[in-house]
Amino acid sequence: MTDFITELKATNPIVMTVANTITSGDVANGLNAIGVSPIMPSAPEEAEAMVNIAQGVTINVGSINQEQFRQSQLTCKAANSQGKPLVLDPVAVASSPYRSQVVDTLLRDYDFSAIRGNVGEIAFLAGVAWDTHGIDAGGDEVDFEQLTTIVKTCAQKYHTIVIMTGEIDYISDGKTVKSVPYGTPAFATHVGTGDLLSSLVAAFLTVASTDEYLEAAYQAALTFALCGQKVNDKLPGQWFNGLLNELYLVSNDKINHWEKEELHHG
């Protein structure tokens, strides 16, 4: 199996993000910490040129408007024509008709390698009833079967890898479902951690073959969750800086060791 972290740190891939303006700085710093070179252009006129130099692409609709929608379309077209990994983050997709229409158009017209969203966002895309509330949508009374059905249904509908994040992350290609049970409430204290994970998934896909995309997405979610877990005792301001430090220091050996520790303590 590919050691995705070692490959990332050795190759320093360029990941282009059509960014959420609220979180772009944190996403850039998080990518940079693990060894990825982030670019976040905003002009539609240079979309194709920027995709040319990137190894992976993320479309984040967090602060979508008509100009950014046009940029997103041109970016997706270029990424598809060049065979570059393309990840969608459908931020708050159910919160307005405009936002829903934008995401629907992108998913209809372009092929995405992966979609990363929270339970509410993924349930909406899957067409499964769910109590959504802004960007942080979830429910208290949920079960494993319901969540696995949501993530598998979404993956089957769009023929892609789906990463559904929450206290437990679920990753599916429509057949297999993998889970990462190492979430921490600290992630909810910092706006933009989901956005960072979406771009991190794109980074991991750049060093994976297409038949490794499910495993690469899983490893991205696992790495992110365990790095956040290691600094779980920090206050919110210190926690995000701690997360950056762990991403900078992380290795495949560390992830394997941490996961064994978590399994032992669990």
**192 annotated as belonging to a binding site for a ligand:** yes
Cβ within 8 Å of residue 159, ≥6 positions away = 111, 174
Contact at 8 Å (CB) between 195 and 91? yes
Reading the block at residue 19, the tokens are: 């960014």
Tell which residue, 21, 36, 10, 6, has the closest CA to residue 197.
36
**164 annotated as belonging to a binding site for a ligand:** no
Reading the block at residue 17, the tokens are: 């993000």
Distance between CA atoms of residues 245 and 30, nearest Å: 9
**165 annotated as belonging to a binding site for a ligand:** yes
Amino acid at 246: E
Length of the chain: 266
**149 annotated as belonging to a binding site for a ligand:** no
How many alpha carbons lie under 13 Å from residue 216 in its C-beta half-sphere?
26
Residues of the binding site for ATP = 116, 165
Residues of the binding site for substrate = 40, 192
Residues of the binding site = 40, 116, 165, 192
